[in-house]
Structure 1
Amino acid sequence: MIKVLIIDDEKLARDVVKAYLKEHADLQVTGECANGFEGVKYIHEHKPDLLFLDIQMPKLTGFELLELLEDPPAIIFSTAYDEFAIRAFEKNAADYLLKPYSQIRFNEALKKARLKIGSDNNELSPVNGLVESHRETTDQLDRIVIRTGSKIVILGVDQIEYFEAQDDYVAIYSEGKKYLKQVRMKYLESSLPTHRFVRVHRSYIIAVEQIDKIEAYTKDSYLAMLKDGKKIPVSRSGYQVLKEVLKF
């Protein structure tokens, strides 16, 4: 028996999936969630085999949920018309249903999902590709979603003091706390509001409003003194960018 989880904020959409699944006796809906927060918790605790995931949801979008999955099940995505989402799906060979969809189209997607469930292929790679493709089409970050243990934290960019590269992760510092997220500094540099954040060093991006003062450190480097007393290294090129942003 294949265990199915449905995540969609619309009850009607969840009911459609359940109705279409009645043709398939070997699939059992073991859970349904109305938002991404519930979905992440359910996946972590119950390990479903197949996930029907809506992309456009309030609170936590389908793409944000994907960022939080360490060992994702087979996934069939659903969306109302969204050219960026569809482009990401097709680029990464992901199965998706464009709402509204028919029983025939549903069965086609389900056939592909069965093959993935029955194979040894790891679903993580296409999921990572989807996340990266979506990031490429995002105009500007206004928040960052982080999973810490069993909790999900959503940080508005106005809450973040600075970012620090740490191997394959980035440490995010906010209100006296440190969070880790697997994301590239290059992506953050290009996606954060440029008038609020500056990459001052290959390992640091700081919120300019957190800067108290800047001091010379060596001939070609500086230190940014933050309001909480932390000292952040500033490269020569980073200093030039700060001069342009802060106009000094």
Structure 2
Amino acid sequence: MIKCLIIDDEPLARSLVAEYLQRHPAIQVVQECGNGFEGLKAIQEHQPDLIFLDIQMPKINGFEMLELVEQPPGVIFTTAFDAYALKAFEANAVDYLLKPFSQERFDAAVHKWLDKRHANTADNTPANLGEVPAKQPEEQLRIVVRAANDIRIIPVKDVLYLEAYDDYVKVHTPEGLFLKKKTMRYYERTLDPNQFVRVHRSFIIPLTQLTRIEPSEKDCHVALLKSGVRVPLSRSGYSRLREVLGI
């Protein structure tokens, strides 16, 4: 038996997917979820083979939820918005169903996933999400992270600075340090460039936290933040910071 989840905040949309799945008796719906929090918990509990995932949902959106899944199942996105198709496929989605979709279009997506499953070619890892810039306003205003078994939503206004850490980014906040599986390039392209400046290969700082720029040895400079942290500035980062500051 193939286990699947339906994750969508619209009850009618969930009902439609469940109805269409009646043509596929080998696929069992183990749970329906109304938001990303419920979806993440259900994925951990049931370890499904496939999920039907909406993008625009309350609390956290579908992309943000998917980023928090360590071993993601196959994903077929179901959404009323076509603007996110490219990002969906870059997230290794099996297919992207634009609402309203027909039984035939739904069946084609399911058969596509079944073919990949039988051929052992399905790759569910959202490897590219760390590079794809956010297209939804909420992703530009917040960072969603996992902290133990909890999900934390960090407003970008609360970020003290960002620091590269292998395949992750350290998000420094007044409440502590959180890890996010993203890239520095992602945040450089997503955050407001007039408020957040990449001052070093390993650091992005918000201008609201900058108190002053100090010279260092060998014609180098450091940025002193309100928290007392001293962030090194590369030559290009120093020039970029001066340009944004207008000095």
Report the TM-score, using the length of structure 1 for normalisation: 0.89
Which amino acid in 2 is paired with 1:85? Y
**SS of structure 1 residue aligned to 2:154:** strand
| Counterpart check, 1:79 vs 2:79 | yes
- 1:78 shift after superposition: 0.7
Write the distance in 2 (CA, Å) between the matches of 1:141 and 1:106: 32
Change in Cα spacing, 1:81 to 1:205, as seen in structure 2 (3 Å) is: closer
Q: Is the 8 A contact 1:85 1:134 kept in 2?
A: no
Q: Is the 8 A contact 2:130 2:181 kept in 1?
A: no
Moved more, 163-172 or 4-13: 163-172
Write the distance in 2 (CA, Å) between the matches of 1:217 and 1:34: 53
Change in Cα spacing, 1:176 to 1:223, as seen in structure 2 (3 Å) is: farther
Per-residue displacement from partner, 1:30-80 (whole Å, max 9, x unpaired)? 101000111011112210111011112122111112211221111211111
Question: Which residue is equivalent to 1:162?
Answer: 161
Which amino acid in 2 is paired with 1:159? D
The count of aligned residue pairs is: 245
| Counterpart check, 1:207 vs 2:231 | no
- 1:136 shift after superposition: 6.5
Q: Is the 8 A contact 2:164 2:170 kept in 1?
A: yes
Which amino acid in 2 is paired with 1:105? R
Task: Give structure 2 stretches of 5+ with no counterpart.
Answer: none
**SS of structure 2 residue aligned to 1:41:** helix
Output the aligned Cα RMSD.
2.2
Question: Which residue is equivalent to 2:145?
Answer: 146
Q: Is the 8 A contact 1:74 1:117 kept in 2?
A: no
Change in Cα spacing, 1:195 to 1:93, as seen in structure 2 (3 Å) is: closer
Counterparts of 1:171-210 in structure 2 under 5 Å?
171-210=170-209
Write the distance in 2 (CA, Å) between the matches of 1:203 and 1:230: 14
Q: Is the 8 A contact 2:224 2:230 kept in 1?
A: yes
Per-residue displacement from partner, 1:131-189 (whole Å, max 9, x unpaired)? 36752756882212212322211111111010111111111101141111121212211
Task: Give structure 1 stretches of 5+ with no counterpart.
Answer: none
Q: Is the 8 A contact 2:75 2:124 kept in 1?
A: no
Q: Is the 8 A contact 1:9 1:57 kept in 2?
A: yes
Report the TM-score, using the length of structure 2 for normalisation: 0.90
**SS of structure 1 residue aligned to 2:140:** coil
